[in-house]
Structure 1
Amino acid sequence: MIGLLNSKDKYTNLAFILSDQSDVTVKVAEYDRNRNFKIKKQFTGSLIELFYNVKEQADRLNDVSAIINTKTFVRNEVVSYPGASLREMILNAFIHADYFIRSNIEVEFFEDKCKITSPGGIFNASMEEIMKGTQTYRNHKLVNIFDKLGLIENFGTGIPRTLDAYKDYDKKPIFEATDNFFYVTLPNLNFDINDQINDQINNFDLDILRIIKQNPGIKVMQIQAKLLEKNIEASADQIRNSIKRKISSYIEHRGSKKTGGYFIKK
């Protein structure tokens, strides 16, 4: 039995929170640097539909930025919350929450972090055991349903996978628990690197940067010819537009308009 009916064929609390009549509420918010709301949403209803709605909103707030390597001019994309960390911790909040506590699951996005709060502390385990992937079940029938739906692996891998997503970074997730609440703080990998980020630069712009790096002093018409060698057709105006609007912070023009050319800035 999956636990939707009791021995008297009456619907259980599990059936209620999985139904459209459920009064479970999950809050999602995004704040600016002064902690004013940029986004404030509440989702109510079936727990499964809730999860999909919350995950969709969280995915929209999981920004991807581009860091330009100024030595190779390769565009490296950085996700604010890497790997499966955001999904796993939202799932963790859903399946391990204590739904008898009159509170809400909250997913809050600050400039430097995402904080996920769920009602219910650690169930029958220590923090050390949980961090190692030990499984305990406050809502074992709910876990089984999410497992059958293919939403979880049911192997206690959520926290280890989240830690693994951050293993190559200095910033690390923080896990905290009280008797009544569990808190997860995921650091935003894109915080404090805005000076390196240029989302507007595309592969065409990077090709021009690489050509200038390989051919110091090159002119626009010569850049156009080099691009054509790469089977990239571009007008002189497109190249000038890229130079003026996109990559001007990386390059400089030296010499006169007639005889000068473009160089990578030192």
Structure 2
Amino acid sequence: MLESLEKLSLVKGQLVTNAAWLLFDKGSTGYNVHLGRFKTPSYIIDDRMYNGTLFDMVEEIMRYLISQIKVAFEIKGMPTQRTEIFEYPLPALREMALNCLIHRNYLSPIDVQICLFDNYVEFYNPGGLAGSLTVEDLKKDNYKAHARNKLIAEAFYLIGGIEKYGSGFLRMRKEIATYPTMKMEFGEMPNGFMNKLSYREQKISTKMDSRVSEGVNGGVNEVVNLSPTLYERRWSL
């Protein structure tokens, strides 16, 4: 185990790197994930705070979201089969959670914030895009990813959590394209980056219809200009 950590540069001699501490330490790291279920911007239905290893945080985020989002049931076939259709594509939610944890700025004391409303969900992480990557680049399928936290990204890659050269937004677009009225908005804002999924009508059938083209061509890659006041309704930072 120690030899493997040394090969990954997570341990250097007698020193444990910050990346190893964030990935494996079972104590409180001081970097929280704040999740909430909102009815309106000022009406909080549920409020949770999680802290732990980054690997654990991904699973905690997904457990919370799955417990809060709506699920439609499609009954079809003989014999009768029941298909669960989640309010949002779970692989896209997981990718957004991974992005928040892997690419956040760990020099910032601001928490990762995930806010779930009746027909949209917002993921906010402190720290803008790394390197020369731009919001316009993320709209393309051949963008070149830049990892702010290379050792953390490498660790998630080795367990199969992410693609090494970054294809997260491409995978999210493919998942969202199967949800007829859903769109993804994203952009930089002061001190961070926001990614949002929203829809007009909840998906209740696995059958594709003509509205899918609207979702693919009419806003899946939409970029939003974010004002500093967007998160003023959130919890105190």
Q: Considering fraction of residues, name the structure with more helix.
A: 1
Cα-Cα RMSD: 2.6
SS at match of 1:24: coil
Matched with 1:3 is 9
What displacement does 1:16 show?
A: 2.1
How far apart are the structure 1 equivalents of 2:126 and 2:84?
Answer: 34
Which residues in structure 2 correspond to 1:61-80 (within 5 Å)? 61-66=68-73, 78-80=85-87
Q: Normalization by structure 1: what TM-score?
A: 0.63
Matched with 2:167 is 157
Q: Normalization by structure 2: what TM-score?
A: 0.70
Matched with 2:186 is 175
SS at match of 2:162: coil
Matched with 2:222 is none
Matched with 2:114 is 107
Which residues in structure 2 correspond to 1:141-156 (within 5 Å)? 141-156=151-166
What displacement does 1:62 show?
A: 2.9
Any gaps of 5 or more consecutive residues in structure 2? 1-6, 205-237
Change over 3 Å in CA distance of 1:68–1:36 after alignment to 2:
farther
Indicate conservation of the 8 Å contact 1:135/1:156, yes or no. Answer: yes
Which residues in structure 2 correspond to 1:146-225 (within 5 Å)? 146-168=156-178, 169-178=180-189, 180-188=191-199, 190=201
Change over 3 Å in CA distance of 1:28–1:83 after alignment to 2:
closer
Identity %: 23
How far apart are the structure 2 equivalents of 1:17 and 1:4?
Answer: 10
What displacement does 1:20 show?
A: 1.5
How far apart are the structure 1 equivalents of 2:162 and 2:69?
Answer: 21
Change over 3 Å in CA distance of 1:165–1:63 after alignment to 2:
same
Q: Considering fraction of residues, name the structure with more strand.
A: 2
Deviations 1:146-200 (A, max 9, x none): 1112212223121111122222423310011135201001114655x8xxx7xxx
How far apart are the structure 2 equivalents of 1:43 and 1:135?
Answer: 28
- Asked if 1:26 corresponds to 2:33, the answer is yes
Q: How many corresponding residue pairs?
A: 188
How far apart are the structure 1 equivalents of 2:181 and 2:91?
Answer: 18
What displacement does 1:89 show?
A: 0.7
Any gaps of 5 or more consecutive residues in structure 1? 198-266
Matched letter for residue 104 of structure 1:
D
